[in-house]
Amino acid sequence: MITFWLCLAVTAAIGGTILCKLKKSPGQMGRKMVCLVGLGGGACLLSLSLFWGSVIFSLSCFLTCTFFSGQELLPVDQKAVLVTGSDSGIGHALCKHLDQLGFTVFAGVLNAQGSGAEELRRTCSKHLTVLQLDITVPEQIKDAYSKVVEKVQNKGLWAVINNAGVFCLPGDGELIPMKGYTQCMAVNFFGAVEITKAFLPLLRKSKGRLVNVSSMAGGVPISWMAAYSSSKAALTMFSSVMRQELSKWGVKVSVIQPGAFKTNILGTSDMWNKMEKDILDNLSPDVQEDYGQDYILRLQNCVKSMEQKADSDLSPVLLDIQHAISSKSPCAFYSPGIFSFVCLCFINFIPTSIFDHFSQKVFDFKEIMPRALRRSDWKNKAM
């Protein structure tokens, strides 16, 4: 009985300490710390002897101290960071956030004369530099590299944040034109690889950070997102390999896998209409007959649904990226957004058949069916 109350008191004390630390800590530290306390507390409550109670108590203290020592935040000291895709959305908000924290920010934008770039120049400090940087154009990457080297000189570049990304109109993998797959891979994967390879000498010199913004969709198969998900899955695996290879150089690599957040990546109605036309123009007659034009024209409903469900508060993503570049021991993976964390855990621990059933219930639009599947004789013909 004494062991029970001792363990309970110790767990409460550790929990209180963690909650105090939590208020000062950015990123997803809270989730890990709460899990640690819950694990330690539950184990203590279940212990039936003084010996095991003492062992669990000691282990909890050790893990907590180790965790806190690794979460120490490094001083900003105007560390230089490069952010791609800063015209709008997460990249734009991140540049403002890091600038306010005191970082020297290089904001790579697709259009240096656009409204997003002008807003960054107008609202941020003199420590932020806007760079014309289309990550699919090698000449612009080389030019950006030269400008970064010229400005940072001996201070070096602390972090590269590969945030730039594109999305294509959701649709069955059979319907998405090859141009959609190519564009997603060109920007979401090959572009990030090109930026990484170009700036790695600077990161190795500073023993800095490489942060790649992937997506929950890169780890969780979601219907109608074959092109986007495949490119993000490639980026996630690339990051994992680079994490291992760069560890000997002292460079730490993190992957951000956000859930649904409201940004401009989904595009505009004009873009959706153009993508619809591309789909219809590239389909063979038999495929178009099976799916039906009305089915394809209703795919925009999926985009509208995504927009409605997306979270407009980008702070979870910004805080996780801040933690990735500021923490003494950053996490390998961050999953801002409740659904991202839950779904990524879900797919890793349950049978595939169960996940597929769950996914169809959550992500599929049952009111939108291909023409052939709406016919009552379809199953008989298939048999």
The answer to whether residue 371 sits within a structural domain is: no
Q: Are residues 22 and 103 in the same domain?
A: no
* Stretch 370-379: mean pLDDT: 72
User: pLDDT-based confidence at 18, cuts 50/70/90?
Assistant: low
CA–CA distance from 231 to each of 236, 259, 296 (Å)? 9, 16, 23
Stretch among 6-15, 205-214, 340-349, 354-363 having the lowest mean pLDDT: 6-15
* 51 lies in the same domain as 99: no
Query: Do 209 and 308 sit in the same domain of this protein?
Result: yes
Confidence of residue 275 (pLDDT cuts 50, 70, 90): confident
Q: By the 8 A CB rule, do 96 and 120 touch?
A: yes
Assess contact for 136 and 187: CB atoms under 8 A.
yes
- C-alpha 340/C-alpha 331 separation (Å) is 16
Question: pLDDT tens-digit profile of 103-119?
Answer: 999 999 999 999 999 99
Query: Region 70-99: what's the mean pLDDT?
Result: 93
Tens-place pLDDT, residues 298-345 = 777 777 777 777 788 999 999 999 999 999 999 999 999 877 888 888
Q: Is residue 372 part of a domain?
A: no
CB-based contact 277:271 (threshold 8 Å): no
Report how many domains make up the chain: 2
pLDDT value at position 11?
57
Question: Of 13, 46, 70, which residue sits at a domain end?
Answer: 70
Q: What pTM did the predictor assign?
A: 0.82
Strand (E) or helix (H) holding 205: helix 192-206
Q: What is the SS3 assignment for 221-287? A: CCCCEHHHHHHHHHHHHHHHHHHHHHHHHCCEEEEECCCCECCCCCCCHHHHHHHHHHHHHHCCHHH
Domain residues for the domain of 11 are 2-70
291 catalytically annotated: no
Give the pLDDT confidence of 33-60 residue by residue, as tens digits. 555 555 555 555 555 555 565 566 556 6
Task: Provide the token pair at 330.
Answer: 């950053």
The residue annotated as part of the active site, out of 145, 181, 228, 295, is 228
Verify that 249 and 321 share a domain, yes or no.
yes
pLDDT confidence tier of residue 75, bands split at 50, 70 and 90: very high
Question: Do 15 and 109 lie in a common domain?
Answer: no
Q: Are residues 60 and 121 in the same domain?
A: no
Mean pLDDT over residues 57-79, rounded?
69
Mean pLDDT of the chain: 84
Largest Cα–Cα separation, the chain: 77
Q: Supply the pLDDT for residue 10.
A: 60
Q: Report the percentage of the chain scoring pLDDT > 70.
A: 78
Residue 281 and residue 144 share a domain: yes
pLDDT of residue 295 exceeding 60: yes
